[in-house]
Amino acid sequence: MRRAHTVEQVRAAEAALMATLPPGTLMHRAAAGLAAACMDFLGRAYGARVVVLAGSGDNGGDALYAGARLARRGARVEAVLLNPEKAHQGGLADLLAAGGEVVDRVRDADLVLDGVVGIGGRPGLRPEAERALDVVEAAGIPLVAVDVPSGVDVDTGETPERHVKAELTVTFGTHKIAHFVDPARESAGSVELVDIGLDPYLPEPALEVLQPSDVKALLPTPGHEAQKYSRGVVGVLAGSQQYTGAAVLAVGGALGGPVGMVRYVGPDEPAAFVRQRYPEVVGAGRVQAWAIGSGLGDDESQAEEVRNALRSGLPAIVDADGLRYLPESCDSPVLLTPHAGELARMLGVDREDVEKRRLHHAREAAKRWNATVLLKGSATVIAGPDGRIRVNTASTSWLATAGSGDVLSGLCGSLLASGLSPFDAGSVGAYLHGTAGQLAADGGPVTAQAVAHALPDAIRRVLS
């Protein structure tokens, strides 16, 4: 599992670790890892041209010490000191001793090291940093960020002001929230974690990202004595005369999950399509969980069935048009799966604000409805009402296609019916859905049906 911590958590852990080490040890560990990552990125050190954008404080010090290491390996290293009076003196002296130079502006380079501000910085950049960044961006020089891209909000992933957009971010000790939450995630590029010995001093993470082994451990699998009812039965309440395909896709997602039976409840026309495509699907009856909402449209004929399902006390995943039937607060296990536009309508805010503040709004909705909220996106945010956060980054941009969310809805319903909590069902469902998208797309366009068909292969990949 990949973990991310807040700035406060990291600072406390660093202080505890530094109390056990000679002065400067932590910075030299970070600089060694940073320099190694830069050499891997460049493919060499000797003859490479590197510019260090060094702000004040330890972040600038990390960059300067790393620059000194690169200079000793034969790189031509120049430093632009954005605040010369407050430059890290130890790092600067080491760079100069290694043959590096101080210059007044960015010139031609193969790589720029972003040591402007670290995790203690606020969003935005000072004018001198903006001027340097203008030159770098105009010249198309690749940027490697030190710990985080300068100018992002480290604890939220928000980017309200000008900030660095890196191709690689080298971070130390643990990941930070901005590495996983959009829009800052996009500006971090690839992220490489350098071990500096912080693990024993870190508390429980503020955010988690499941890896295949974590999904395998959570995924319900049938035992030798299993039968269709013990594996779980999910009811799918989706589709309408207007959106018949949504019913087929949601059912397909449910069948691709771990349950032993799927019951479809809906109008005659979508029901006929469902049974034609999936003859194993049965009608109304006892279920262990509900998948509600995909493709209900404006048809109010199913409104009472939706409300009854939500009042049943059974676990439920509520998607799309089903979201308008939510009670003021959920008193049973519920997973909500809105996209940004739907969450904006639910909270009475602009969609643009949801896109800019994804973590904030997912948390707010989880508290407001006492439910787990899965906010769809290229990096899906799963927020529990208890404050826990997970993010899924295993996906492909080709999943942004009509009907993809319907498949996710059915899959999450299947996971709920097989016994997972809403938080785990959303986390595992997002991972499997993203993996199925990758398998089905194989680098090109994909349809929602193809994603549903690839779910068994995604599960096999996790279990192998």
CATH of the domain at 111: 3.40.50.10260
- The separation between the first and the last C-alpha atoms of the chain, rounded to the nearest angstrom, is 17
Number of domains in the chain: 2
* E strand map for 108-189: 111-115, 143-146, 168-172, 175-176
Bridge partners for 318 per DSSP: 292, 336
Angle between helices 268-277 and 244-255 (to 10 degrees): 40
Asked if residue 61 belongs to a known ligand binding site, the reply is: yes
Asked if residue 457 belongs to a known ligand binding site, the reply is: no
**Cα separation, 409 vs 431, whole angstroms:** 13
Asked if residue 176 belongs to a known ligand binding site, the reply is: no
Asked if residue 83 belongs to a known ligand binding site, the reply is: no
Asked if residue 376 belongs to a known ligand binding site, the reply is: yes
Asked if residue 285 belongs to a known ligand binding site, the reply is: no
- For residue range 426-460, list pLDDT tens digits in order: 999 999 999 999 999 999 999 999 999 999 999 99
Buried b (16+ CB within 10 A) or exposed e, 252-264: bbbbbbbbbbbbb
Shared domain check, 163 and 32: yes
Asked if residue 62 belongs to a known ligand binding site, the reply is: yes
Shared domain check, 393 and 249: yes
What pLDDT, on a 0 to 100 scale, did the predictor assign at position 301?
Answer: 86
Domain that holds residue 269: 212-463
Bridge partners for 129 per DSSP: none
Give the three-class secondary structure for 420: coil
Shared domain check, 36 and 102: yes
What pLDDT, on a 0 to 100 scale, did the predictor assign at position 399?
Answer: 95
Give the strand pairing for 289-292 and 380-383.
unpaired
Mean pLDDT to the nearest integer, 458-464: 97
Mean pLDDT, the chain, whole residue set: 97
Shared domain check, 223 and 106: no
Asked if residue 378 belongs to a known ligand binding site, the reply is: yes
Asked if residue 419 belongs to a known ligand binding site, the reply is: no
Shared domain check, 249 and 157: no
Q: Measuring CA to CA, how many Å separate 156 from each of 184, 347, 367, 442?
A: 9, 19, 17, 32
Shared domain check, 372 and 322: yes
Asked if residue 156 belongs to a known ligand binding site, the reply is: no
Q: CB–CB of 169/191 below 8 Å? A: yes
Provide, rounded to the nearest whole percent, the portion of the chain with pLDDT above 90.
97
Shared domain check, 321 and 179: no
What pLDDT, on a 0 to 100 scale, did the predictor assign at position 442?
Answer: 92
Asked if residue 162 belongs to a known ligand binding site, the reply is: no
Shared domain check, 269 and 166: no
* E strand map for 67-152: 76-81, 101-103, 111-115, 143-146
Shared domain check, 220 and 126: no
Mean pLDDT to the nearest integer, 317-340: 97
Whether residue 256 has pLDDT greater than 90: yes
From 146-160, 219-233, 252-266, the region with the lowest mean pLDDT = 219-233
Q: CB–CB of 369/324 below 8 Å? A: no
**Cα separation, 204 vs 5, whole angstroms:** 8
Q: CB–CB of 455/409 below 8 Å? A: no
Say what the pTM is.
Answer: 0.96
Whether residue 298 has pLDDT greater than 90: no
**Cα separation, 144 vs 115, whole angstroms:** 9
Mean pLDDT to the nearest integer, 16-33: 97
Closest CA to 119 of 207, 4, 8, 33: 8
CATH of the domain at 378: 3.40.1190.20
Mean pLDDT to the nearest integer, 16-41: 97
Asked if residue 48 belongs to a known ligand binding site, the reply is: no
Whether residue 300 has pLDDT greater than 90: no
